[in-house]
Chains A and B, each alone.
Chain A
Amino acid sequence: SQTIHQWPATLVQPVGSPLSLECTVEGTSNPNLYWYRQAAGRGLQLLFYSVGIGQISSEVPQNLSASRPQDRQFILSSKKLLLSDSGFYLCAWSRMGSYNEQFFGPGTRLTVL
């Protein structure tokens, strides 16, 4: 069976500090990978998606970046956090090349102070 891991679960960071969130998937190969952000009481905003190692598509220009160094590893980073980066960050995967459902990790609650 497939599982998706995200860490950390919660994070409190000062403005201007760097960020690194990691997501890994087990039990599948060549997944599509996604990073979403969800503001309190709001819908999902797609930040990045990846269809393969080193292939990253950005949906929203901002101070965040993503990398996929391995097939089942997806990393979200920032060099300098802004207050507006606070939110619930969700990693998800779907099977390659299909419209199958997306499966979500447990999420990271980020608070920037």
Chain B
Amino acid sequence: GQNIDQPTEMTATEGAIVQINCTYQTSGFNGLFWYQQHAGEAPTFLSYNVLDGLEEKGRFSSFLSRSKGYSYLLLKELQMKDSASYLCAVAGDSNYQLIWGAGTKLIIKP
């Protein structure tokens, strides 16, 4: 079967760094997405990785290891507005569908 695992919830302190992990087992791989979703709102795109390595985009970075079926999202200099759920999604064999993880709720404390 196809499966994506993320921690359910994480807590971090304002100004600190947090790493949110995602492991996946899918039939086929055509890239991994990270989305941010604030409570009551729609998900918004953060990053896309299809090759191994680290992609940096401002305070957010995303890493992929295809051989390990593993990705992480790294958030630096955390701000209160980063409190949200972070969803990991994989493009597998299908041209049209993404396989979604359940999301990690990130709580930022002052």
**A34-72: which have CB < 8 Å to B?**
41-44, 46, 49, 51, 57, 59
**B30: CB under 8 A from chain A?**
yes
Query: Knowing A99-B30, A99-B31, A99-B95 touch, does A104 contact B44 (C-beta < 8 A)?
Result: yes
CB distance from A4 to the nearest CB of B (A): 9
The answer for the CA separation of A75 and B97 in the assembled complex, in Å, is 18
Partner of B102, one of A32, A42, A46, A105: A42
A-B contact count (CB 8 A): 45
**A17: CB under 8 A from chain B?**
no
Partner of A104, one of B42, B48, B96, B103: B42
Q: Could you tell me how many residues of chain A have their Cβ less than 8 Å away from some Cβ of chain B?
A: 24
Interface centre among A57, A99, A105 (most CB of B within 10 A): A99
Partner of B100, one of A41, A44, A101, A106: A44
**A97: CB under 8 A from chain B?**
yes
| Pairwise interchain contact B96-A106, C-beta atoms closer than 8 A | no
The answer for the CA separation of A88 and B40 in the assembled complex, in Å, is 8
Query: Binary interface profile of B, 80-100, with partner A (CB < 8 Å = 1, else 0)?
Result: 000000010001000111101
- Who on chain B is nearest to A41 by CB? B105
Listed in ascending order, the chain A residues whose CB lies under 8 Å from chain B are 32, 41-44, 46, 49, 51, 57, 59, 88, 90, 94, 97-99, 101-107, 109
